[in-house]
Amino acid sequence: MQKRNLGAGSLEVSAMGLGCMRLSPGHGTVAGTRQEMIALIRAAVERGVTFFDTAEVYGPFVNEELVGEALAPMRDQVVIATKFGFQIDSEKDPHPVGLNSRPEYIKETVEGSLKRLRVDAIDLLYQHRVDPNVPIEDVAGAVKDLIQEGKVKHFGLSEAGAQTIRRAHAIQPVTALQSEYSLWWKRPEEEIIPTLEELGIGFVPFSPLGKGFLTGTITENTQFDQEDNRGSFPRFSPEARKACDIRSDRARLAPCTETLDRSYSRHHETGAP
Ligand SMILES: NC(=O)c1ccc[n+]([C@@H]2O[C@H](COP(=O)([O-])OP(=O)(O)OC[C@H]3O[C@@H](n4cnc5c(N)ncnc54)[C@H](OP(=O)(O)O)[C@@H]3O)[C@@H](O)[C@H]2O)c1
Protein backbone atom coordinates (compact mmCIF):
# COMPACT_ATOMS: atom_id res chain seq x y z
CA MET A 1 0.00 0.00 0.00
CA GLN A 2 1.38 3.41 -0.97
CA LYS A 3 1.59 6.12 1.66
CA ARG A 4 0.73 9.82 1.56
CA ASN A 5 1.76 12.71 3.79
CA LEU A 6 -1.11 15.02 4.61
CA GLY A 7 -0.24 18.65 5.18
CA ALA A 8 2.97 20.21 6.36
CA GLY A 9 2.62 18.41 9.70
CA SER A 10 3.43 15.20 7.82
CA LEU A 11 0.60 13.01 8.93
CA GLU A 12 1.41 9.76 7.14
CA VAL A 13 -1.56 7.69 5.99
CA SER A 14 -2.22 4.91 3.50
CA ALA A 15 -3.09 6.21 0.04
CA MET A 16 -6.42 4.45 0.33
CA GLY A 17 -8.43 5.07 3.46
CA LEU A 18 -11.56 3.37 4.75
CA GLY A 19 -14.62 5.56 5.22
CA CYS A 20 -16.62 3.83 7.92
CA MET A 21 -19.87 5.82 7.70
CA ARG A 22 -21.95 3.03 6.22
CA LEU A 23 -20.65 0.29 8.52
CA SER A 24 -23.18 1.13 11.25
CA PRO A 25 -26.88 2.05 11.20
CA GLY A 26 -28.07 5.52 10.28
CA HIS A 27 -26.84 5.90 6.69
CA GLY A 28 -28.54 3.19 4.70
CA THR A 29 -28.66 -0.57 5.06
CA VAL A 30 -25.58 -1.99 6.77
CA ALA A 31 -24.02 -4.82 4.78
CA GLY A 32 -23.64 -7.19 7.74
CA THR A 33 -23.71 -7.67 11.49
CA ARG A 34 -21.72 -5.49 13.89
CA GLN A 35 -19.16 -8.28 14.36
CA GLU A 36 -18.79 -8.57 10.59
CA MET A 37 -18.18 -4.83 10.31
CA ILE A 38 -15.54 -5.04 13.05
CA ALA A 39 -13.92 -7.90 11.14
CA LEU A 40 -14.06 -5.82 7.94
CA ILE A 41 -12.24 -2.90 9.57
CA ARG A 42 -9.56 -5.21 10.97
CA ALA A 43 -9.19 -6.93 7.60
CA ALA A 44 -8.54 -3.50 6.05
CA VAL A 45 -5.65 -3.00 8.50
CA GLU A 46 -4.25 -6.41 7.57
CA ARG A 47 -4.32 -5.30 3.93
CA GLY A 48 -2.33 -2.13 4.64
CA VAL A 49 -5.04 0.49 5.23
CA THR A 50 -3.96 2.80 8.04
CA PHE A 51 -6.46 5.66 7.60
CA PHE A 52 -9.99 5.39 9.02
CA ASP A 53 -12.73 7.98 8.76
CA THR A 54 -15.68 8.44 11.09
CA ALA A 55 -17.70 11.28 12.65
CA GLU A 56 -19.73 11.98 15.78
CA VAL A 57 -22.84 12.40 13.62
CA TYR A 58 -22.52 8.98 11.93
CA GLY A 59 -25.22 7.07 13.72
CA PRO A 60 -24.90 9.36 15.67
CA PHE A 61 -22.25 8.07 18.06
CA VAL A 62 -22.46 4.36 17.17
CA ASN A 63 -20.02 4.65 14.27
CA GLU A 64 -17.29 6.09 16.49
CA GLU A 65 -18.00 3.28 18.98
CA LEU A 66 -17.66 0.67 16.24
CA VAL A 67 -14.42 2.16 14.91
CA GLY A 68 -13.03 2.51 18.44
CA GLU A 69 -13.77 -1.11 19.30
CA ALA A 70 -12.48 -2.45 15.98
CA LEU A 71 -9.20 -0.55 16.05
CA ALA A 72 -8.41 -0.77 19.78
CA PRO A 73 -6.08 -3.78 19.36
CA MET A 74 -4.12 -2.07 16.56
CA ARG A 75 -4.34 1.52 17.78
CA ASP A 76 -0.63 2.19 17.29
CA GLN A 77 -0.71 1.21 13.61
CA VAL A 78 -3.55 3.47 12.47
CA VAL A 79 -4.68 7.07 12.01
CA ILE A 80 -8.27 7.76 13.10
CA ALA A 81 -10.07 10.83 11.79
CA THR A 82 -13.36 12.05 13.21
CA LYS A 83 -15.52 15.17 12.87
CA PHE A 84 -17.55 17.59 14.96
CA GLY A 85 -19.97 20.30 13.95
CA PHE A 86 -23.56 19.08 14.23
CA GLN A 87 -25.83 19.82 17.18
CA ILE A 88 -27.04 16.48 18.50
CA ASP A 89 -29.45 16.33 21.39
CA SER A 90 -29.15 12.62 22.08
CA GLU A 91 -31.57 12.50 24.99
CA LYS A 92 -34.51 13.79 22.98
CA ASP A 93 -33.68 13.05 19.38
CA PRO A 94 -30.68 11.28 17.87
CA HIS A 95 -30.96 13.22 14.61
CA PRO A 96 -28.81 16.34 14.29
CA VAL A 97 -30.83 19.51 14.71
CA GLY A 98 -28.44 21.87 12.96
CA LEU A 99 -24.86 23.03 13.03
CA ASN A 100 -22.92 23.89 16.15
CA SER A 101 -19.23 24.82 16.12
CA ARG A 102 -19.21 27.01 19.20
CA PRO A 103 -15.84 26.50 20.93
CA GLU A 104 -17.38 25.17 24.16
CA TYR A 105 -19.51 22.69 22.18
CA ILE A 106 -16.46 21.52 20.19
CA LYS A 107 -14.62 20.81 23.43
CA GLU A 108 -17.61 18.92 24.86
CA THR A 109 -17.95 16.90 21.66
CA VAL A 110 -14.27 15.95 21.67
CA GLU A 111 -14.56 14.49 25.17
CA GLY A 112 -17.30 12.17 23.89
CA SER A 113 -15.36 11.22 20.76
CA LEU A 114 -12.24 10.38 22.78
CA LYS A 115 -14.25 7.97 24.95
CA ARG A 116 -16.11 6.34 22.06
CA LEU A 117 -12.93 5.94 20.00
CA ARG A 118 -11.02 4.63 23.06
CA VAL A 119 -8.06 6.91 22.36
CA ASP A 120 -6.06 9.46 24.34
CA ALA A 121 -5.85 11.81 21.36
CA ILE A 122 -7.73 12.20 18.08
CA ASP A 123 -5.25 11.95 15.19
CA LEU A 124 -7.21 14.20 12.82
CA LEU A 125 -10.21 16.28 13.91
CA TYR A 126 -12.30 17.90 11.17
CA GLN A 127 -14.98 20.52 11.37
CA HIS A 128 -17.70 18.60 9.48
CA ARG A 129 -19.49 21.63 8.03
CA VAL A 130 -18.71 25.33 8.26
CA ASP A 131 -21.01 26.98 10.81
CA PRO A 132 -22.12 30.39 9.52
CA ASN A 133 -22.83 31.51 13.10
CA VAL A 134 -19.30 30.98 14.40
CA PRO A 135 -16.25 32.75 12.92
CA ILE A 136 -13.82 30.16 11.58
CA GLU A 137 -11.06 31.84 13.60
CA ASP A 138 -12.93 30.84 16.80
CA VAL A 139 -13.23 27.26 15.55
CA ALA A 140 -9.53 27.09 14.67
CA GLY A 141 -8.71 28.64 18.04
CA ALA A 142 -10.72 25.97 19.88
CA VAL A 143 -8.95 23.19 17.99
CA LYS A 144 -5.61 24.89 18.67
CA ASP A 145 -6.41 24.74 22.42
CA LEU A 146 -7.26 21.04 22.10
CA ILE A 147 -3.97 20.39 20.29
CA GLN A 148 -2.08 22.22 23.05
CA GLU A 149 -3.91 20.09 25.63
CA GLY A 150 -2.79 16.95 23.76
CA LYS A 151 -6.35 15.81 22.98
CA VAL A 152 -6.07 16.36 19.23
CA LYS A 153 -3.07 15.97 16.91
CA HIS A 154 -4.17 17.51 13.60
CA PHE A 155 -6.87 19.93 12.38
CA GLY A 156 -9.05 19.38 9.33
CA LEU A 157 -11.97 21.01 7.53
CA SER A 158 -14.69 19.46 5.42
CA GLU A 159 -16.50 21.12 2.50
CA ALA A 160 -14.99 24.53 3.37
CA GLY A 161 -14.43 27.24 0.76
CA ALA A 162 -11.04 28.69 -0.16
CA GLN A 163 -11.35 31.84 1.96
CA THR A 164 -12.47 29.87 5.00
CA ILE A 165 -9.52 27.51 4.57
CA ARG A 166 -7.10 30.46 4.43
CA ARG A 167 -8.60 32.12 7.52
CA ALA A 168 -8.54 28.89 9.54
CA HIS A 169 -5.01 28.02 8.42
CA ALA A 170 -3.75 31.41 9.63
CA ILE A 171 -4.83 30.53 13.20
CA GLN A 172 -4.08 26.81 13.31
CA PRO A 173 -2.38 25.03 10.39
CA VAL A 174 -4.87 22.82 8.59
CA THR A 175 -3.58 19.32 7.82
CA ALA A 176 -6.35 18.16 5.48
CA LEU A 177 -9.50 19.21 3.73
CA GLN A 178 -12.13 16.54 3.09
CA SER A 179 -14.58 17.25 0.27
CA GLU A 180 -16.45 15.35 -2.39
CA TYR A 181 -14.29 14.54 -5.41
CA SER A 182 -14.75 11.92 -8.07
CA LEU A 183 -15.24 11.51 -11.79
CA TRP A 184 -18.70 13.06 -11.56
CA TRP A 185 -17.85 15.81 -9.04
CA LYS A 186 -14.64 17.60 -10.01
CA ARG A 187 -15.42 21.09 -8.78
CA PRO A 188 -12.56 21.11 -6.21
CA GLU A 189 -10.18 21.35 -9.19
CA GLU A 190 -11.33 24.93 -9.86
CA GLU A 191 -10.27 26.73 -6.69
CA ILE A 192 -9.91 24.35 -3.77
CA ILE A 193 -7.09 22.07 -4.93
CA PRO A 194 -4.91 25.00 -6.11
CA THR A 195 -5.44 26.67 -2.72
CA LEU A 196 -4.48 23.49 -0.88
CA GLU A 197 -1.36 23.10 -3.02
CA GLU A 198 -0.36 26.69 -2.29
CA LEU A 199 -0.85 26.26 1.47
CA GLY A 200 0.58 22.74 1.74
CA ILE A 201 -2.68 21.16 2.92
CA GLY A 202 -3.64 17.56 2.10
CA PHE A 203 -6.84 16.61 0.30
CA VAL A 204 -9.08 13.69 1.29
CA PRO A 205 -11.78 13.07 -1.33
CA PHE A 206 -15.04 11.66 -0.02
CA SER A 207 -17.54 9.63 -2.05
CA PRO A 208 -14.81 8.74 -4.58
CA LEU A 209 -17.19 6.17 -6.08
CA GLY A 210 -19.91 8.78 -6.54
CA LYS A 211 -21.89 7.28 -3.64
CA GLY A 212 -22.08 4.06 -5.65
CA PHE A 213 -23.10 5.67 -8.94
CA LEU A 214 -19.69 5.05 -10.51
CA THR A 215 -19.72 1.37 -9.61
CA GLY A 216 -22.46 0.70 -12.14
CA THR A 217 -24.90 -0.78 -9.62
CA ILE A 218 -27.40 2.09 -9.94
CA THR A 219 -29.85 2.05 -12.82
CA GLU A 220 -32.98 4.00 -13.65
CA ASN A 221 -34.95 1.16 -12.04
CA THR A 222 -33.07 1.18 -8.72
CA GLN A 223 -35.36 1.65 -5.71
CA PHE A 224 -33.72 3.29 -2.70
CA ASP A 225 -34.99 2.13 0.67
CA GLN A 226 -36.23 4.65 3.21
CA GLU A 227 -32.95 4.83 5.11
CA ASP A 228 -30.92 5.46 1.95
CA ASN A 229 -30.45 9.20 1.62
CA ARG A 230 -29.50 8.89 -2.05
CA GLY A 231 -33.22 8.79 -2.80
CA SER A 232 -33.42 12.50 -1.88
CA PHE A 233 -30.42 13.68 -3.97
CA PRO A 234 -31.22 15.33 -7.33
CA ARG A 235 -28.26 13.48 -8.87
CA PHE A 236 -30.05 10.20 -8.09
CA SER A 237 -33.49 11.26 -9.33
CA PRO A 238 -35.05 8.78 -11.79
CA GLU A 239 -34.64 11.35 -14.60
CA ALA A 240 -30.93 11.87 -13.85
CA ARG A 241 -30.33 8.14 -13.65
CA LYS A 242 -32.12 7.57 -16.92
CA ALA A 243 -30.08 10.30 -18.62
CA CYS A 244 -26.77 8.89 -17.44
CA ASP A 245 -26.57 5.11 -17.27
CA ILE A 246 -22.94 4.39 -16.54
CA ARG A 247 -23.16 0.74 -17.64
CA SER A 248 -23.78 1.76 -21.21
CA ASP A 249 -20.97 4.30 -20.96
CA ARG A 250 -18.03 2.12 -19.93
CA ALA A 251 -16.04 2.88 -23.08
CA ARG A 252 -16.28 6.61 -22.46
CA LEU A 253 -15.38 6.14 -18.78
CA ALA A 254 -12.01 4.42 -19.35
CA PRO A 255 -10.07 7.54 -20.44
CA CYS A 256 -11.66 9.47 -17.55
CA THR A 257 -10.34 6.89 -15.12
CA GLU A 258 -6.84 7.28 -16.49
CA THR A 259 -7.10 11.05 -16.15
CA LEU A 260 -8.23 10.69 -12.58
CA ASP A 261 -5.35 8.33 -11.78
CA ARG A 262 -2.87 10.89 -13.12
CA SER A 263 -4.58 13.66 -11.22
CA TYR A 264 -4.49 11.61 -7.99
CA SER A 265 -0.73 11.09 -8.30
CA ARG A 266 -0.13 14.73 -9.13
CA HIS A 267 -1.99 16.03 -6.14
CA HIS A 268 -0.85 13.31 -3.71
CA GLU A 269 -4.39 12.80 -2.65
CA THR A 270 -5.64 10.09 -0.43
CA GLY A 271 -9.00 8.43 -0.85
CA ALA A 272 -11.60 7.49 1.76
CA PRO A 273 -13.78 4.97 -0.10
N1 LIG B 1 -16.97 14.80 5.05
C2 LIG B 1 -18.19 14.51 4.64
O3 LIG B 1 -19.10 15.35 4.72
C4 LIG B 1 -18.47 13.15 4.07
C5 LIG B 1 -19.61 12.94 3.28
C6 LIG B 1 -19.81 11.67 2.73
C7 LIG B 1 -18.91 10.64 2.98
N8 LIG B 1 -17.81 10.89 3.78
C9 LIG B 1 -16.82 9.82 4.06
O10 LIG B 1 -16.42 9.20 2.85
C11 LIG B 1 -16.68 7.80 2.94
C12 LIG B 1 -17.07 7.26 1.58
O13 LIG B 1 -18.19 7.97 1.05
P14 LIG B 1 -19.53 7.29 0.45
O15 LIG B 1 -19.83 6.03 1.21
O16 LIG B 1 -20.56 8.34 0.39
O17 LIG B 1 -19.24 6.99 -1.05
P18 LIG B 1 -18.37 6.07 -2.01
O19 LIG B 1 -17.09 5.70 -1.37
O20 LIG B 1 -18.36 6.85 -3.26
O21 LIG B 1 -19.28 4.78 -2.19
C22 LIG B 1 -19.40 3.83 -1.22
C23 LIG B 1 -20.13 2.57 -1.67
O24 LIG B 1 -21.10 2.32 -0.66
C25 LIG B 1 -22.27 1.69 -1.25
N26 LIG B 1 -23.48 2.31 -0.72
C27 LIG B 1 -24.49 1.63 -0.14
N28 LIG B 1 -25.42 2.44 0.31
C29 LIG B 1 -25.01 3.69 -0.02
C30 LIG B 1 -25.57 4.98 0.18
N31 LIG B 1 -26.73 5.17 0.83
N32 LIG B 1 -24.89 6.03 -0.27
C33 LIG B 1 -23.69 5.86 -0.89
N34 LIG B 1 -23.13 4.67 -1.08
C35 LIG B 1 -23.79 3.59 -0.66
C36 LIG B 1 -22.13 1.80 -2.72
O37 LIG B 1 -21.89 0.49 -3.11
P38 LIG B 1 -22.56 -0.19 -4.36
O39 LIG B 1 -21.58 0.06 -5.44
O40 LIG B 1 -22.65 -1.60 -3.96
O41 LIG B 1 -23.87 0.47 -4.60
C42 LIG B 1 -20.88 2.65 -2.95
O43 LIG B 1 -20.09 2.12 -3.96
C44 LIG B 1 -17.75 7.64 4.03
O45 LIG B 1 -17.72 6.38 4.63
C46 LIG B 1 -17.37 8.74 4.97
O47 LIG B 1 -16.35 8.28 5.85
C48 LIG B 1 -17.59 12.12 4.29
How far, rounded to the nearest angstrom, does the alpha carbon of residue 124 sit from its chain's CA centroid? 11
Query: Is residue 55 lining ligand 1, measured as CB closer than 6 Å?
Result: no
Digit-coded pLDDT (tens) for 114-138? 999 999 999 999 999 999 999 999 9
Digit-coded pLDDT (tens) for 15-27? 999 999 999 998 8
Please report which helix (H) or strand (E) contains residue 45, including its range.
Answer: helix 34-46
Give the closest residue (by CA) to ligand 1 atom 47.
19
Give the three-state DSSP class for 26: coil
Q: Which domains does the chain have, with CATH numbers?
A: 3-209 (3.20.20.100)
d(CA 10, CA 263): 21
- Is 105 marked active-site? no
Strands 51-53 and 79-84: parallel
Digit-coded pLDDT (tens) for 181-226? 999 899 999 999 999 999 999 999 999 999 888 888 888 888 888 8
Query: Is residue 217 lining ligand 1, measured as CB closer than 6 Å?
Result: yes
